[in-house]
Amino acid sequence: MFEQVPFNVAVIDRDYNVVEANQNFKDYFGNWKGKKCYSVYKKLENPCNDCPSEEVFKKGRAVVADAVGVDQHGRKTHYVGHVIPIKNKENDHIDFVMEMTRTVTEINRWQQEYQILFDRVPCYITVIGEDFRIVRANEAFRENFGDVLGEHCYKVYKRRETKCRNCPAEKTFKDGEVHHSTQKGIGKRGQDINYQVSTSALMRGSGDVAHVIEISNDITELKKLEHKVIEAERLSAVGQTVAGLAHSIKNILMGLEGGKYIVSLGLKKNSKEMINQGWEMLDRNFDKTTSLVKDFLSFSKGRLPELQLVDPRDLIYEIIDLYKNIAAQSGIELKTEISEKVKTAPLDPAGIHTCLTNLVSNALDACSMGEQKGTEVLLKLYEGRDKLIFEVTDNGSGIDYEIKSKIFTTFFTTKGGAGTGLGLLTTRKIVQEHGGKILVDSQKGKGAMFRMVFPRKRLLALYKETKDKK
C-alpha cells in the first residue's frame, strides 16, 4: 500500500529525520536516506519556521498545509501536505508522523496563466452572483467601470437602483442557457458605453446555476460610425427626395400651365372644346398633385407601427372587396389562397393595408399592360418557420432585371406620368418597420411575385415594446 499511494509519502521522526519514503517521494525530491526533512523538501540547513510536522507532534492531530519547496532538479515547487500522527500502540505516544504531499505547481501555473488571460482579454468580463453582485471583474472592465467588486451589476453598468428589464443574466440564472443582448451603460467617467453582452452559466455540482459570467464587447465606436453612416444616408436620401420632388412638381406645373393656357385661349376664342380640353388637363394634374402629396406624407412618417392583435385573413378580405370590381372591369381574375393554419398576429392594420393596396394595384396595372389572355392576380397568406407571409403574384408583363434593381429607389416608376414612384418605397418602409423584409421575383413577360415576410418573434418583441411605452 505504501508504494501504491499516488502521492509523495514520507515518515519523519521527532528529530526531523526521514526514516522511510515511497518511490514517488524519491522520484520527486531525490535521495532522502540519512537526511532531514527540511533538507529534502526545501534544501535548508535548519528546521522550517512553520513546520507542520512539529505541530502534529505537539497537538497530536492531523494538519493540512501548503508550502513551497525545491525538487531534486532544483526547481521551485508548490505542494499541499497532509500530515498525520503515527501513535505507539503500547503507550499512545507519537513517535513518527506521516507526510503525504501532492504537487500543485502546474495548477498554480495554470491559475496564474488563467488570471493573466482573464485580465488581458480585450473585452469586459464579470462574474455575477445570485444576488446580482459582481464577484470578479477583469482589468478591461475595471478600467472602464471602476473597481466595483461587491456592487450590484445594474448599479455599476447603468447607475440604476433596480434590476434592468429583460436582464440577460437573470434569464441565465433561470434557465441555465446562453443569452445575448445589446445594452447601453455608463462608464466610471460618466461616458456612454454601448456593448454587446453574452451570459453563460457557471454550474454547481447539483446542476444549479451558482454564478453567471458576462462577456461584453464594447461597440461604442461602431455605434458612432453607424450613426455617421445613417446620417450620411439620411442626408443623401433628403437630397434625392428633394430632387425627385422638384422634378415631379415641375412636371405637374408644366401640365397646369398647359391646361391654364388652353382654358385662357378657349375663353378668348369662345371655344367650348378648348375650354373642356384645358380643364381636363387642369383636373388631371390636380389629381397628380393630390396623389404626390398623399404618397409623400405616407412615406415621410417616421414612427413605430401601431401594432394590435388582428386576424391577417381579414386584411386579405378587405383588399379583395376593394379591388374585385376594378379587376373584373379589366378582365382580370382576383384570387386568394389562405392557409387554415394562419393565426392572429400583432400588426399595424393600416400599414399592412397600404402595403397590400400598393402591391395589388401594381399587379393589376401589370396585367393590364400585358398582352396575354387569362390574366390573374393571386393573394396568398400562409405561415412558414415561425414567419407570417403575404404574397401577391400576377402573370402580367413582368419586370426585367434592370428595372427590378431600381424598383425600391425613390421616385422610380414604370407608369410614366400616372405614378409618383413612392408606392413600393413606402411598402418596403412599412414592412421594415414591422421587422420584416420584402422580396421580389420576376421575369420580363412572365409576371411578378412580391413576398412580405414577418418573423413572429420580431412582431411579438415590437408589440411588447409598444405596450411598455404606453
* DSSP per residue, 341-395: T---EEE-HHHHHHHHHHHHHHHHHHHHH---SS-EEEEEEEE-SSEEEEEEEE-
Give burial (CB, 10 Å; 0-12/13-18/19+) of 310.
Answer: middle
Mean residue pLDDT across the chain = 83
pLDDT over 90 at 330, yes or no: no
The top-scoring range by mean pLDDT among 60-69, 150-159, 457-466 is 150-159
Average pLDDT value for residue range 24-51: 91
Q: Which position has the higher pLDDT, 418 or 406?
A: 406
Report how far residue 31's alpha carbon sits from residue 19's, in angstroms, rounded to the nearest whole number: 12
Beta strands in 71-128 (DSSP E): 76-87, 94-103, 124-128
pLDDT at 248: 61
Q: Which position has the higher pLDDT, 55 or 248?
A: 55
pLDDT at 39: 93
Average pLDDT value for residue range 275-295: 79
| Residue 240 confidence class, pLDDT cut points 50, 70, 90 | low
Q: Which position has the higher pLDDT, 299 or 109?
A: 109
Residue 275 to residues 255, 259, 270, 271: CA-CA distances in angstroms?
A: 15, 9, 8, 6
Find, among 158, 137, 159, the residue nearest to 148 by Cα.
137
* Amino acid at position 374, single letter: G
Element (H, E) at 458: helix 456-469
Tens digit of each residue's pLDDT (9 = 90 or more) over 417-445: 444 456 777 788 888 888 888 898 887 77
pLDDT over 60 at 379, yes or no: yes
pLDDT at 206: 63
pLDDT over 70 at 17, yes or no: yes
Report how far residue 430's alpha carbon sits from residue 432's, in angstroms, rounded to the nearest whole number: 5
pLDDT over 90 at 16, yes or no: yes
Residue 180 to residues 1, 169, 177, 275, 370: CA-CA distances in angstroms?
A: 53, 9, 10, 69, 50
Q: Of 11-25, 142-156, 221-235, 442-456, where does mean pLDDT reach its minimum?
A: 221-235
pLDDT over 80 at 244, yes or no: no
Tens digit of each residue's pLDDT (9 = 90 or more) over 126-178: 999 999 999 999 888 998 898 888 999 999 999 989 988 889 999 999 998 99
Q: Which position has the higher pLDDT, 299 or 72?
A: 72
Average pLDDT value for residue range 404-416: 57
Percentage with pLDDT > 90 across the chain: 29
pLDDT at 431: 86
* Amino acid at position 427, single letter: T
Average pLDDT value for residue range 195-218: 86
- HSE, side-chain direction, 13 A CA sphere, residue 42: 17
Average pLDDT value for residue range 216-223: 88
pLDDT over 70 at 301, yes or no: no
Percentage with pLDDT > 70 across the chain: 84
* DSSP per residue, 288-315: HHHHHHHHHHHHH-------EEE-HHHH
Tens digit of each residue's pLDDT (9 = 90 or more) over 336-364: 999 988 999 999 888 898 889 888 888 88
pLDDT over 90 at 461, yes or no: no
- Grid cell 412572365 in the structure block, residue: 446
| Residue 272 confidence class, pLDDT cut points 50, 70, 90 | confident
Find, among 452, 351, 364, the residue nearest to 415 by Cα.
364
Average pLDDT value for residue range 215-221: 90
pLDDT at 280: 86
pLDDT at 390: 96
